[in-house]
Amino acid sequence: MTVSEAKPSTLQQRVVETVSLATFATLLFMWSVPDVIAARNALLVLLLVFVLFLKPDISQLATCLQQRSVALPLLALTGWIALHCTVIARNPTHAWHEAGQWFKAVPIFMLGAAIGLSPRWRSQPDRLSAWGGATIVAYLAYLIFHLVYKPWEYTAPISLILGQSTRIGSRDLASYLGTALVGLQLADLVAQSARGRGFMNGPVWLRGLGLFAATVLTVATMTRNALPVLALLGAVAAAAFVVTRPRQTRLRAIALVSLAAVLLASGIAINVKNDERWARFASSVAIGLDIEHQKAWLAQEQTPLPLNAQGLPVDDSAYLRTAWMKGLLTEIARHPLGVGYDRNAFGNALRADYGKWVTTGHGHAGIFDFTIGVGIPGGLLLLAFFVALAAAGLRRWREDRDAAGLALLLFVLSYASRAFIDGIVRDHMLEQFMLLAGLLLALAHSNKASQA
């Protein structure tokens, strides 16, 4: 019996579905809340139990996970990390302990795929609508609460208020979720225009309003890292939108895309105007490149920030991130096989080369932090895994204009591009990515299987 011929779900099945969705959405919301690790793990276990009741198609799950293009880089990377921890890492015991975050993330990827194939009695469009909709609602709720919890009682400039962390997490975490959310919402609307079916229920105008809200909330985090990622996602989504339009309406599509680009550019311009750090950005980057003479990036707590040509302290974020990036590339060249899996592998390499007085931990650039830990082979395999996932999504989009395929492509682009400029290839951020990547991969795969 095919999925389309499945019998309507019973009351008991609908209860399990509802509870599973609520658990899934709660987990996504709480994953970025600090100091709730035990609750996150408990929710993961509960989700696994509920998935067993949802009875995913095991044979289809195995076929999905055995796709060579995705399975090979994932297995190769996992094997390389195990080998690295055993024979290459400077402190094997510590490296094995730290690598537990990767060895936990891989089963979470598999759990995500199982979720994407659940409930077994639902069709792929229904599953995509349920899990995709729950993801969008959870992330949008997080961004809203993050804004509400800002210290609005203080009479400070709004840019300073927006830049504050809140009780549910830092602005960097909110920004990282915001770019992922925008990618998913763009996929929903572009698929709707191409096939007349996205994955969210509700009128298109309401979903468009949700995209606008998510973009504004992400820009309002006052994190400059989000801006190039939003531009990249917008460009890819715009290209997908224009290409899928009939030739006679393509000019209208280009006009609509141009209007959206103007709105996004306006939001970015407002961010630049209200963020005083941009005035010192260029000079701070130039000074940050001089890592041989300016040492504040090695121990910013004990070393005062350098001054620019006007005698003003550099913008700490621009200076430090520039210096860390150059330092990361330098350390990778010095240690091409890595120093051992560790969320603070960069700091370990620096202390080995500069001395124990160095306090810098990670370099706030996840892919490069990962590479200095497990070496250039590990970094290349991680990139290969990202490329394989994005390519799988692109194939499904090109073959069938499948919303899950485009969502997978944009979600991976969001995470991977952000990982070049933000330290997100670790801990709960890596876990979130792996869960949703597995989920979207399975949804895209199951739609192809149902049409075979």
Between the alpha carbon of residue 43 and those of residues 22, 62, 122, 431, 437, the distances in Å are 10, 24, 23, 13, 18
Contacts of 165 (CB under 8 A, 6+ apart): 171
Residue 118 has pLDDT above 80, yes or no: yes
The share of the chain scoring above pLDDT 90, in percent, equals 64
Residue 300 has pLDDT above 80, yes or no: yes
Cα separation, 234 vs 212, in Å, equals 12
Question: Amino acid identity, residue 111?
Answer: L
Residue 8 has pLDDT above 70, yes or no: no
Residue 205 has pLDDT above 80, yes or no: yes
- The pLDDT, as a whole number, for residue 5 is 42
User: Which residues share a beta bridge with 78?
Assistant: none
Contacts of 13 (CB under 8 A, 6+ apart): 119, 121
Residue 449 has pLDDT above 70, yes or no: no
Tokens of residue 143, six digits: 């961004």
Tokens of residue 5, six digits: 């011929």
pLDDT in tens, 157-191: 887 888 888 989 988 889 999 999 999 999 999 99
Bigger pLDDT: 199 vs 389? 389
Least confident stretch, 290-299, 344-353, 384-393: 290-299
Residue 232 has pLDDT above 90, yes or no: yes
User: Which one of 31-40, 59-68, 166-175, 371-380 scores highest in mean pLDDT?
Assistant: 371-380
Least confident stretch, 200-204, 257-261, 405-409: 257-261
Cα separation, 28 vs 26, in Å, equals 5
> What rounded mean pLDDT belongs to the chain?
90
Residue 65 has pLDDT above 50, yes or no: yes
Going by pLDDT thresholds of 50, 70 and 90, the confidence category of residue 256 is confident
Residue 1 has pLDDT above 50, yes or no: no
pLDDT in tens, 75-109: 999 999 999 999 999 999 999 999 999 999 999 99
Bigger pLDDT: 331 vs 162? 331
Contacts of 398 (CB under 8 A, 6+ apart): none
Cα separation, 446 vs 452, in Å, equals 10
- The pLDDT, as a whole number, for residue 203 is 92
User: Which residues share a beta bridge with 166?
Assistant: 169
Query: What average pLDDT does the segment 197-215 reach?
Result: 91
By C-alpha distance, which of 171, 150, 275 is closest to 221?
171
Question: Amino acid identity, residue 100?
Answer: G
